[in-house]
Amino acid sequence: MILIAHLQSYLNFNLWANGQMTEWLLAKEPRLMTTEVKSSFSTIDKTLEHIWVAEFIWMKRIQGETIENILDVCAGKDTQFITQILLGQSKTCIEYLENLEDESLNDVVYYTLLSGDKGSATIANILQHVVNHSTYHRGQLVTMGRELGLIDPPRTDYMEYVRKINSYI
């Protein structure tokens, strides 16, 4: 499998997994989404927001655009709003890759983290990171949900996605 095909599969997986997770969470009691638990982020909503922020910021970095007031976008918004923009951003990542030439995957992006640290990575590395980052935090969402009494999380690992798409072939 060539790199662009792998990344397309991986970004489609990310959208699917984010969809599975948000569908699960939106079916639960809304107050649980803002109930504080011990985790990297204090609530399910804040964790979902963090996943969106990361996907959004990395795409803006790839596109050479600056980011301002990003943390204000979700202030006071509910889970429905946060999940809509998250899924929209996951689709934007897929659309970006669909319009990218294969050789551009090796283009180097120079960036500054929110901490002020500077770095660089290829577009391919960044897209891989976006998916891995989201996967990591979806795992946290499951743990947070279990702490809040939600015992029926969806299976969102990559091989579950592969089994589902291959069952239609």
The domain spans of the chain are 3-166
How does pLDDT run across 27-70, given as a tens digit for each residue? 999 999 999 999 999 999 999 999 999 999 999 999 999 888 88
Beta bridge partners of residue 40, listed in sequence order: none
Non-local CB neighbours of 61 within 8 Å, separated by 6+ positions? 109, 111, 126
pLDDT of residue 168: 60
Q: What is the C-alpha separation between 44 and 79, in angstroms, rounded?
A: 9
CATH class of residue range 3-166 = mainly alpha
Q: Which two tokens stand for residue 119?
A: 């770095």
- In angstroms, the Cα distances linking 121 to 55, 133, 169 are 15, 15, 35
User: For 55, which DSSP code?
Assistant: H
